[in-house]
Structure 1
């Protein structure tokens, strides 16, 4: 029956850790049968047959599983066929499969990840034209755009790469002279667009890919080099330390709720094994969202709770991967993971959630070197962030008046006609936004920003949102979370939505009220009558060349201090973990602005 097997040229490629033997293949095939329900006799099975430079092993059988769209108590089952084809060639092993999964124990012993740059040089060659690209943000901030997918006949001529360096390529499709190839470096999956064929054709193709993966220093397409570059963990400098770890809750949510061959979370209940409800799963994901600081002492990287006090895990940096060991959080205690395709409690390969997060590389690590991030089981370097952080400094503007501020909004009294001197609000009105010919106070209620500025006399015309905050001078991220969150949340409103403007205009026509005190401070600070302001808003909304800008105005940050830390980091001085978190939070903000076609800035102390 093996001569009837027809499969696509799409497989998972691994670096072989240990040489396979007849006994290892036999134990693997027995394990495949043991992990399913009511397996049939093998439709066919072949063990380690030699073909050219390779050996192949394949097994196929049917088994029972629950019908996915019927409740478990319906007692209905379906019988499906699955197969696994293992091809050994040189230092690589290729796995082709459908309906069956390789046990994690076998992967741990025999199969290792192929380095991302190896896959790049084999598939994303210098002559490749990119047609599809899936990207992942390097930031661990939940406020940042997590991922995006781009498609075009030739992406190099269709995509602006202004924010490319902050993203890593997770998967891509390229057109080459010898075919259309796809690769997902994080999983080792490689495929080529071709007709389905038999086992021997699959072995020949896997051998060709293995040969490409062995080539040292192959030229990579210039387009993909615009993005963050993969580097080996062995290249990590000794003085560089991990600073924060973040759990990939979005990736975990995808496995829980989206993919067909996903997982479920289980725990022991009063009546045996029970599955977590969606509400409980969502609450667990929310509890895993904070970034956890890392304290390094005597080469031991201890992960702390988000308060920075309680040890919760250990980070172990190896030569090929980083392991998150012994993750101990109350919210995941007693929670395990099993495959959703199997009946509840019947997965022989159930693992704890902590082990699953580590095994599937569902975490991101940031380092004292601001250009580095470990994502999806690989280390990446953002060349645009190396050498002093010029990309960050370019977005920091200074205003002298912020050195004298003592509050965000000041105090209020009946009859008051202006914001208190030495408040951040007053700095925005008097100096920072003084060039706007329309200035509106949108603070409180359903606010888009603390202030909205319109410039109709400039070329191009401009719409500006100002988010004002006060605080003591600090290089900590904590002072920025609210401001960044508010700024990113309202980026979509910078087009001044037509349906929302009538209510906004009515609110702006009132006087400012705060802390229960009605003042005489005008919300329409500049711009003329309500009718004149409405006309100017319409003029900029429909201008084809309008420039949209967003400013976080804060008295808690000094540009000089930031510049000093970045300069010291470029010379090898490790910045504090809090500064690393601040850096990535701000870069997430700037990146989100770029994605929306907005210019993002921070206005701070000199």
Structure 2
């Protein structure tokens, strides 16, 4: 692989290219059979030195990223997101990563259109980080992956000379780039982490498990072992790891002398800490580092090293406009401006001031929920005027109550909490709502299966009560028929109602106004998490044409 010189566009550049053949054991074979039972591939690596920039292209080469890109700085997002954009640009494809810490929210999505500038709603876009984009400029299509600075031009195959000319043109474009406004500014924008590092106070942490899931599904990640000195190796199921890491972890700030530590409140490993390094944030845990992941290429990696390498996590801070993910600090400058809109989703009801439980107490003779319970409030104040209403609580539930009235289908999710501004309780009820958005358009087969379950009375904690599942309407058979007919109605209106007692509309408005003004208050961390969760819920519901209402204390 010898360096060669070439003159391109009047500039002398140097490049090195290596082409070679690979022979590998097919991934569906566990052991050697014969030298003939091998796959053959051709690979190449091309590195071009433009003095202040490096152009790298490769095929069928992996596992050398750390070596290949060490000391190289990726092209700044602010340059890439306007590099191929002008007034005539068509945005054809967005790949988006969600910055929400709601564990049941959509973690990522890809959307396409002839021109997304005309069909994509910018509301709530500030919660998404743009991972990649494909644009069309006068029939020339280009895709950009922001996290890796990968630029791809669509078209016929180019050989070395033409490839070098194209690389030279792109680098000249980068060198002479003048930043301007772009439609892509509606998404969360990256800001300089180093400039804000000393003021960052983490409050919540979520592992982004998409890469982990992908490695498990493709067979790249084989297993996990717990390795302790002097103790025999123990296999830990990968599904157990996934289940333990899929929740949102609160971050506790701990003073250690003059230093500050940020520790995750986790039962998975009680020594996980965040390190706010000079260039990035990483996790450290002596206990979790004893969990060793094994990959199909024979490589072993501690669990913490795996997540640090890919930086696959999302962190929220006391500054509610900031979020950290994919080795970058992002700012959603529009979140605060939406506060007044968010409060309109809340409806204060005085009856919830006297609520003392979620369902109350029961006997086998019980036919209704205890007075002063949230479920009793729902049945007497929300579903009282329904044509049909079904209790779907417990089991594989879609909602606590399902209400059918006219052309409206309503899923009602209820949650009781002991403390005001309980972010964990709000996270639970929002998660339930997000998880069941897809069940608002069930198939006929799903409804028929549910009908069998709804024919039973409610069993609570082993007590088989006399509380029927059909709470309003003539009979269950007619109710299912109305349900099926409603789903086919072109004027169907869908809505979600959250009923909670641990939030007061007036107090929440006061705390949100204090957030806007920068005034300190004791529940700041909880209110920030509630705001992020609410933003995620409203955004997901708007994307699916669903209305959102939150009934709480006045």
Secondary structure of residue in 1 paired with 2:55: strand
Q: CA deviation at 1:137?
A: 0.8
Task: State whether structure 2 residue 18 is matched by structure 1 residue 66.
Answer: no
| Aligned equivalents of 1:125, 1:365: Cα separation in 2 | 33
Match of 1:26 in 2: none
**Mapped pair 1:302 → 2:262:** yes
The CA RMSD measured in Å over matched residues stands at 3.5
TM-score, scaled relative to structure 1:
0.79
Supply the distance in 1 between the matched residues of 2:286 and 2:524 (Cα, whole angstroms): 25
Counterpart of 1:552 in structure 2 is 498
Deviation at 1:138, TM superposition (A): 0.9
**Structure 2 vs 1, CA of residues 418 and 174 (structure 1 numbering), >3 Å: closer, same or farther?**
same
- Residues 284 and 332 in structure 1, CA contact (< 8 A), matched pair in contact too: no
Q: Secondary structure at the match of 2:552?
A: strand
Alpha-carbon spacing, 1:329–1:281, altered in 2? closer, same or farther (3 Å): farther
Residues 514/357 of structure 1: CA separation in 2 closer, same or farther (3 Å cut): closer
Could you tell me how far apart the structure 2 residues matched to 1:596 and 1:257 are? 28
| 2:214 aligned to which of 246, 254, 263 | 254
- Shift of residue 505, structure 1, vs aligned partner: 4.8
The equivalent residue for 2:292 is: 335
**C-alpha distance after superposition, 1:64-97 (max 9, x if no partner):** 4423243332353455432222222253212111
Q: 1:214 to 1:426 in 2, by over 3 A?
A: same
Contact 2:97 2:109 in 1 (8 A): yes
Matched-pair contact (CA < 8 Å) for 2:91–2:116: yes
Contact 1:124 1:220 in 2 (8 A): no
CA shift at 1:518, angstroms?
5.8
Instruction: Give the structure 1 partner of residue 3 of structure 2.
Output: 46
Deviation at 1:181, TM superposition (A): 0.5
Deviation sequence 1:470-529 (CA, Å, 0-9, x none): 221332332234433332333222235423445655665665554555655554333334
527, 542, 546: which one pairs with 1:594?
Answer: 542
The residue correspondences of 1:272-311 to structure 2 (distance < 5 A) are 280-292=237-249, 293-295=251-253, 297=255, 300-306=260-266, 310-311=270-271
Secondary structure of the residue that 1:114 maps to in structure 2? coil
Aligned to 1:475: 421
In structure 2, C-alpha distance between the alignment counterparts of 1:543 and 1:483, rounded to whole Å: 28
Is 1:86 the counterpart of 2:44? The answer is no
Deviation at 1:393, TM superposition (A): 2.3
Matched, 1:562 2:500: no
CA-CA distance at 1:56 after TM superposition: 2.7
Q: Shift of residue 214 of structure 1?
A: 3.1
Count of paired positions = 542
Alignment-derived partner of residue 488 in structure 1: 434
* Alignment check: 8 A CA contact 1:163 1:594 kept: no
5+ unaligned residues in a row in structure 2: which ranges?
none
User: How high is the TM-score relative to the length of structure 2?
Assistant: 0.86
Deviation at 1:365? Answer: 1.8
What secondary structure is seen at the aligned counterpart in 1 of 2:474?
coil
Q: Deviations over 1:562-586 (max 9, x none)?
A: 3233222222246644444443334
Aligned to 1:190: 151
Q: Which residue does 2:312 correspond to in 1?
A: 362
Shift of 1:175: 0.2
Is the contact made by 2:17 and 2:47 (CA closer than 8 Å) also made in structure 1? no
2:331 to 375, 381, 397: 381
From 72, 82, 90, the equivalent of 1:111 is: 72
Q: Distance in 2 between matches of 1:379 and 1:54?
A: 37
48 and 314 in structure 1: CA distance in 2 versus 1, 3 angstrom threshold: farther
Q: Determine the C-alpha separation between the residues in 2 that align with 1:287 and 1:48.
A: 54
Alignment of 1:522-533 (within 5 A): 522-530=468-476, 533=479
Distance 1:475 1:216, change over 3 A: farther
Partner of 1:322: 280
1:243 aligns with 2:189: no
> Mind listing any 5+ residue stretches in structure 1 that lack a counterpart?
1-43
Separation in 1, partners of 2:157, 2:59: 14
Q: Distance in 2 between matches of 1:54 and 1:187?
A: 26
CA distances 1:205-238 after superposition (whole Å, capped 9, x unpaired)? 222222222345433432x233222333256486
Q: Aligned partners of 1:435, 1:236: CA distance in 2, in Å?
A: 53
Alpha-carbon spacing, 1:299–1:227, altered in 2? closer, same or farther (3 Å): farther
In structure 1, which of residues 127, 149, 153 is the aligned counterpart of residue 110 of structure 2? 149
Classify 1:324/1:588 alpha carbon distance in 2 versus 1 (closer, same or farther; 3 Å).
same
Q: 115, 118, 130: which is aligned to 1:169?
A: 130
Q: Please tell me whether the aligned partners of residues 398 and 604 of structure 1 are also in contact (alpha carbons under 8 angstroms).
A: yes
